[in-house]
A and B are shown apart, each in its own frame.
Chain A
Amino acid sequence: MSPEQAIAAALLVPLLGAAGVLLCRRRPNVREAVTVLATLLTFGAVASLVPAVTAGGRPGLELFEVLPGLPLAFAVEPLGMLFALVASGLWILTSIYAIGYMRSHHEGHQTRFYACFAVAIAAALGIAFAANLFTLFLFYELLTLTTYPLVTHHGDERARRAGRLYLGLLMATSIVLLLTAIIWTYAVAGTLDFRPGGILAGRADAPLAIVLLLLFAFGTGKAALMPFHRWLPAAMVAPTPVSALLHAVAVVKAGVFTVTKIVLYVFGLDLLRTSGGGEILAWVAAATLLLAAAVATVQDNLKRRLAYSTISQLAYVVLGAALANGTAALGGSLHVAMHAMAKITLFFCAGAIAVTAHKTEVSQLDGIGRRMPITCGAFFLASLSIIGLPPAGGTWSKWFLVLGAADGERWAMVAVLLAGSLLAIGYLMPVVVRAFFYPPPAAGEGHGEAPLLCLLPLTLTALGCVGQFVFAEPLYRLLAPIAGM
């Protein structure tokens, strides 16, 4: 398969999968088989691009010109490659998990669920491979729209209200801020292509660069920078597989990926540094990082706690880009992969507990580790990765982030990064401690471990967190070019 065909396949297979899901709606087993097949084929197509990209190739695919100078085009560079790998790889495990979860929970509208899920993945891959801002924006909006039915899955008043907040915030930021920034960039630079070194460098003076940078950063609502973060906790009304893959991986990573990509390929690190925009963005990210982590420590609902943790961890990636040096950008990009693996594990565990023990609050989890040792063990490993401790992958991303901040002698930022990790201990470890060391409630409860289809994926992702620690080399080699190493 040539790289062009692989790109096309990666984008088309999920869409065909969605069509297949709709066609097989009367036969659930066939329908789920179609989903799993689509996930495997998609991952295969994405993975086949890795050798070429690691070797320095930038395979591309140009479809047609939509507006003069604005083609619908795709080009795979290291950052997008990583994001696509993460999204499509974790989609396989999530769909297996979803089968176990949705059936144990007797959820309705499962056909719509799987179909929208597949289209959302196609949109995420479109974002990952986009060769210009216009293509990226197209798929960005598609991702918002296709995840809306997933957020409002239950259809009750609570879900509807969450859906309104979700759509309202993401649409408002993307249309008012992001679109304005895109068209403004086009008016200034005359192109929207992503180019190493940036397209604004030399064309925008410092004040304009700062305005555009802030428009881009806040306009990318999916990156959940405060004060535009409220949609993410609201989206937690969705079924847990959605929270796991979309609101810990695909959607939010699409946000920080967009910010990083804009910083690297629209502004360029030099313009970011010289204009002073990086400094402002770094402080915005730092504030989000600490505030969200502090909020997470007082959430009792487990999924909400994880959501605020996600907001805090996303700010790490934005901070990495804003520090405007290669090492920090590498750390931020690595964190996309590390955090994805860890956070999806945490959500899988939360869902497994909800589906098995019907418990959703942290305060209800006393002693649950004795009944569900594998689930809670996985939770512990993933927590280590979020905090950034060995033997989990998060260690490396935080290592490079701190190193980058120290390189630039940004000691305040080093302190922020470390404080974020301390807060992460504060909101994750109590869960583990409660589960393993608190005595279980007196009344015996008749549940054991989670269903096998839930347990298997979460074990694999927990092991993945460790794997990312031990085998970080290929990721490093893939990403090294963006940091200029």
Chain B
Amino acid sequence: MSEHLPILQVVVPLLAGPLCLLLRHRLLVRGLATAVPLACLTIAGLLLHRVQQVGAISYHIGGWAPPLGIEYRIDLANAYVMVIVSAIAAVVMPFLPGHMGSAMVRRREHLFYAIFLLALAGLLGISATGDMFNAFVFLEIASLASYSLVALGRHRRALVAAYSYLIIGTIGGTFFLLGIGLMYQMTGTLNMVDLAHRLPEPMSPGTPGSRTVLVAFAFLAVGLSIKLAVFPLHQWLPRAYAHAPSAVSAFLAATSTKVSYYLLVRVVFSLFGAAYVFDALKLDRLLLPLSIVAMFAGSTAAIFQTDLKRLLAYSSVAQIGYMTLGVSLASVTGLTGGLVHLFNHALMKGGLFLAAACYGMRLRSSRIADLAGAGRLMPWTTAAFVTGGLALIGVPGTAGFVSKWYLVLAALEQGRWLVAVLVVASSLLAVAYVWRVVEVAYFADRDAGAHPIKEVPPLLLVPTWILIGATVYFGLRTELTAGVAEAAAGVLWESLR
């Protein structure tokens, strides 16, 4: 049984999705949809444990040996990503039935859960697979499921947001596919390990096919950057997250961009190798300025939002900038910072979107101005929001501090003190946008005529506080985050090349 864990990680949610359609009964579906992410989390935890013990696991699907058969290859990097993805899925589950606004969804709850589980299967599949085409298939499964989840938002504008997400996302997916096609043309293989060995040495311009490899890399990098919402390819993200149901925003913000980041890191470090990407192509010269612009532009845009979910979405654009900064610093410490921030940001942003979902449930609005009086009337939700906000700022004792520590350290190690100062300075913008919300929640009084509000039930508070509590816990105990991320960064750095 235990040797089949890599495939079970993906197959369990993939089969549970259609099963929802067959069951149809509300309680059975809910039970199934609650159990599956917990099962995924258990499997991911076991895999991570095993990988820590014995190193990378290679699983041959159907017993067909790679490179002909499809290989699932689990190492520290993707085991770590799968843990956070399935943990977030398990935690947001209680939000889904109660919070799904429209009556249409409530009547056909089983359809919703089917889509949700497919999205989960897609995200876990991207992480687990060691085969590029397989990764593309799962990327499309996850994306298509995400488009429909976004479209379920309360307002009709959600449909427009989902549509634009669909268009841009499909362009990204197509670019990714073109990149794979070009690589296949050059090497005749789709297996990642095999690809890494067979890609022609592209360092010298005279090598036959080096131009094709360059184009392949460009397609892959741009396609993934769209999915990851790297500035300036981020336009779809604020709209999609602002109009999706809050719980869906929490899930997507915490997982979907993270998995795209993982895939980008995999392509850069494992397939092409740091020597090619940074020494020959100088990707850092492009990605570093873009990351810094993202940090400032995203945070500045967040300061001027009037809608809480848009604010959090723009903050995500900025936080993705921190993650890509980690890649572009081109060192083990930098990559550690990026990977740690992947984990930490998933917790923070997931928790903050869940707090936004709590507000949305009681206030029936996500406008910041409507939060007036929430500090007193919804103390636990507001305390969760403040704690999550402090983590975004990077206050010591929260997870955000750990991320910033590694990023600044990486920049200083290379003597790039300007980058270091810009990283810490950008956190001040986070102070500004977090505190705008805090001031309204605590100091403004709720309109006399507004409908009365009270704290949300524990069923919603507990998951929110699990994520927010985790941001504090992982701000103080970092064996599982920084420890694993550092080891994973080491594995990626040595790469398969």
Interfacial residues, chain A to chain B (CB-CB below 8 A): 64, 66-68, 72, 134, 137-138, 141-142, 145, 152, 155, 160, 164, 167-168, 171-172, 175-176, 179-180, 183-184, 186-187
One of B169-177, B419-427, B451-459 at the interface: B419-427
User: Can you give 27 A-B contacts (C-beta < 8 A)?
Assistant: A64-B476, A66-B402, A66-B477, A66-B478, A67-B482, A134-B396, A138-B396, A138-B397, A145-B390, A145-B395, A152-B443, A155-B442, A164-B435, A164-B439, A167-B431, A168-B431, A171-B428, A175-B393, A175-B425, A176-B425, A179-B404, A180-B408, A180-B417, A180-B421, A180-B424, A183-B409, A183-B420
Chain B residue numbers with a CB within 8 Å of A138 are: 396-397
| B23 is an interface residue with CB less than 8 A from chain A | no
CB distance from B375 to the nearest CB of A (A): 10
A contact face: mostly helix, strand, loop, or mixed: helix
**Residue of B402, B424, B442 with highest tally of chain A CB at under 10 A:** B424
Interfacial residues, chain B to chain A (CB-CB below 8 A): 390, 393-397, 402, 404-405, 408-409, 412-413, 417, 420-421, 424-425, 427-428, 431, 435, 439, 442-443, 475-478, 482
How many A-B contacts if CB must be within 8 Å?
69
CB distance from B170 to the nearest CB of A (A): 40
Bound-state Cα–Cα, A356 to B362, Å = 45
CB pair B443–A183 under 8 Å, yes or no, is: no
Residue of A nearest to B409 (CB): A183
Residue of B nearest to A157 (CB): B443
Bound-state Cα–Cα, A68 to B478, Å = 9
Residue of B nearest to A156 (CB): B443
CB pair B408–A183 under 8 Å, yes or no, is: yes
Q: A138-B396, A176-B425, A184-B412 are in contact. Are A67 and B478 (CB under 8 A)?
A: yes
From A145, A172, A179, contact of B408 by CB (8 A): A179
Residue of B nearest to A183 (CB): B408
Chain A residue numbers with a CB within 8 Å of B443 are: 152, 155, 160
Residue of A nearest to B397 (CB): A138
CB distance from A141 to the nearest CB of B (A): 5
Chain A residue numbers with a CB within 8 Å of B409 are: 183, 186-187
CB distance from A64 to the nearest CB of B (A): 7
CB pair B402–A160 under 8 Å, yes or no, is: no
Q: A64-B477, A72-B476, A167-B435 are in contact. Are A183 and B396 (CB under 8 A)?
A: no
Bound-state Cα–Cα, A391 to B390, Å = 47
Chain B residue numbers with a CB within 8 Å of A172 are: 428, 431
CB pair A175–B421 under 8 Å, yes or no, is: no
**Residue of A72, A176, A186 with highest tally of chain B CB at under 10 A:** A176
Bound-state Cα–Cα, A172 to B402, Å = 18
Bound-state Cα–Cα, A168 to B439, Å = 13
Chain A residue numbers with a CB within 8 Å of B431 are: 167-168, 171-172, 175
Top 4 closest pairs, chain A to chain B, by CB: A138-B396, A187-B412, A183-B408, A141-B395
Chain B residue numbers with a CB within 8 Å of A72 are: 476
Bound-state Cα–Cα, A260 to B435, Å = 31
CB distance from A435 to the nearest CB of B (A): 37
**Residue of B397, B421, B442 with highest tally of chain A CB at under 10 A:** B397
Bound-state Cα–Cα, A167 to B431, Å = 9
CB pair B428–A176 under 8 Å, yes or no, is: yes
CB pair B402–A175 under 8 Å, yes or no, is: no
Bound-state Cα–Cα, A72 to B475, Å = 12
CB pair A175–B397 under 8 Å, yes or no, is: no
CB distance from B257 to the nearest CB of A (A): 25
Chain A residue numbers with a CB within 8 Å of B420 are: 180, 183-184
Bound-state Cα–Cα, A183 to B442, Å = 34
Residue of B nearest to A159 (CB): B443
Bound-state Cα–Cα, A141 to B476, Å = 15
Bound-state Cα–Cα, A98 to B217, Å = 67
Chain B residue numbers with a CB within 8 Å of A66 are: 402, 475-478
Given contact pairs A66-B477, A164-B439, A168-B431, enumerate 19 new A-B contacts (beta carbons under 8 Å): A64-B477, A66-B478, A67-B402, A67-B482, A68-B482, A72-B476, A137-B396, A141-B396, A142-B397, A160-B443, A164-B435, A171-B393, A172-B428, A175-B424, A175-B428, A176-B425, A183-B412, A184-B417, A187-B413
CB distance from A213 to the nearest CB of B (A): 16
Bound-state Cα–Cα, A179 to B422, Å = 12
Residue of B nearest to A137 (CB): B396
Chain B residue numbers with a CB within 8 Å of A145 are: 390, 395
Bound-state Cα–Cα, A68 to B396, Å = 15
CB distance from B479 to the nearest CB of A (A): 9
Chain A residue numbers with a CB within 8 Å of B413 are: 187
Bound-state Cα–Cα, A399 to B425, Å = 41
Chain A residue numbers with a CB within 8 Å of B402 are: 66-67
Bound-state Cα–Cα, A141 to B475, Å = 14
Bound-state Cα–Cα, A281 to B410, Å = 29
Bound-state Cα–Cα, A167 to B390, Å = 13
Bound-state Cα–Cα, A152 to B444, Å = 13
Residue of A nearest to B333 (CB): A187
Residue of A nearest to B486 (CB): A68
Residue of B nearest to A140 (CB): B396
Chain A residue numbers with a CB within 8 Å of B442 are: 155
CB distance from A336 to the nearest CB of B (A): 24
Bound-state Cα–Cα, A187 to B420, Å = 12
Bound-state Cα–Cα, A201 to B475, Å = 30
Bound-state Cα–Cα, A175 to B395, Å = 8
CB pair A176–B408 under 8 Å, yes or no, is: no
Bound-state Cα–Cα, A134 to B412, Å = 17
CB distance from A315 to the nearest CB of B (A): 26
Chain B residue numbers with a CB within 8 Å of A186 are: 409
Bound-state Cα–Cα, A142 to B404, Å = 18
CB pair B424–A179 under 8 Å, yes or no, is: yes
CB distance from B296 to the nearest CB of A (A): 14
Bound-state Cα–Cα, A68 to B390, Å = 23
Bound-state Cα–Cα, A18 to B477, Å = 24
From B427, B477, B478, B482, contact of A175 by CB (8 A): B427
CB distance from B432 to the nearest CB of A (A): 8
Chain A residue numbers with a CB within 8 Å of B477 are: 64, 66
CB distance from B10 to the nearest CB of A (A): 34
Bound-state Cα–Cα, A179 to B406, Å = 12
Chain A residue numbers with a CB within 8 Å of B478 are: 66-67
Chain A residue numbers with a CB within 8 Å of B427 are: 175
Residue of B nearest to A164 (CB): B435
From B390, B421, B475, B476, contact of A176 by CB (8 A): B421
Bound-state Cα–Cα, A155 to B477, Å = 36
Bound-state Cα–Cα, A152 to B435, Å = 13
CB pair B408–A160 under 8 Å, yes or no, is: no
Bound-state Cα–Cα, A183 to B337, Å = 14
CB distance from B468 to the nearest CB of A (A): 15
